[in-house]
Structure 1
Amino acid sequence: MAKPMTKTQLVAALAEEMGSDKKSAGAALDAVVNVITREVSNGGAVPLPGVGKIYCRERPERMVRNPATGEQMHKAADRQVKMTFAKALKDSVNG
């Protein structure tokens, strides 16, 4: 398995793909991350064409079990960030 790309490597790849400098590519990446964070934290969804959709899912309160002790405990309702992947991305990975 290949090592994950670092943010520095991602910024460099974006700069090369955009034909721009690393500073503007880094600013563009930060802007995209800020938009996604703001929208998802407000309960919205953000589609990334060709990649998938990032959204927030509400989870109801429930009973959970502590795996170490086996004790049942109550867990309050919370929200979870989810992502569904586009079929084109799945096909490119598997084909």
Structure 2
Amino acid sequence: MTKSELILRLAALNPHLYQRDVERIVSTIFDEITEALAAGHRVELRGFGAFSVKRRDARIGRNPRTGTAVEVAEKYVPFFKTGKQLRDRLNGGVDTPEDDDDDDDV
């Protein structure tokens, strides 16, 4: 789903809102998440997941075309960890092995 598809879907589900207002709301949410991550903060959306920033150390990489060594600078990358509710929904509510303590085989 693209951002524009999300906006269209939300506008269809909320006919009392103008599409331009839905677009402004979605853009504001994404901008706030981006600004928080840029400031080094963690953003948690309960039931959905958490966005954070991870630091990758500088390293020596290889140019795949020539095979020569290349210095890769330290960098920060966004990281997303799914929430339990989202994982459960994606897996159809299937129990994880740790949760399978009950004896249904009687």
TM-score where L is the length of structure 2: 0.75
Alpha-carbon offset, residue 56 of structure 1: 1.1
The number of equivalent residue pairs is 91
Instruction: Give the TM-score of the pair, scaled to structure 1.
Output: 0.83
In 1, distance between residues paired with 2:2 and 2:70? 38
Q: How does 1:69-88 map to 2 (within 5 A)?
A: 69-88=66-85
Task: From the two aligned structures, give the one with the greater strand fraction.
Answer: 1
Root-mean-square deviation over aligned CA pairs: 1.6
Alignment of 1:12-51 (within 5 A): 12-18=8-14, 19-51=16-48
Shift of 1:22: 1.3
Mind listing any 5+ residue stretches in structure 2 that lack a counterpart? 93-106
Larger deviation: 16-25 or 59-68?
16-25
Task: Give a deviation string over 1:31-74, Cα, whole Å, max 9, x none.
Answer: 10110111101111111222111111111111111222222222
Letter matched to residue 77 of structure 2: Q
User: Identity of paired residues, percent?
Assistant: 29
Match of 2:100 in 1: none
Which amino acid letter does the alignment assign opposite residue 61 of structure 2?
V
The ranges of structure 1 where at least 4 consecutive aligned residues each deviate by more than 3 angstroms after the TM superposition are 16-19
Q: Could you tell me how far apart the structure 2 residues matched to 1:79 and 1:35 are?
A: 18
Which amino acid in 2 is paired with 1:39? A
Structure-2 separation of matches of 1:81 and 1:6: 19
| Of 87, 90, 93, the match for 1:93 | 90
Unaligned runs of 5+ in 1: none
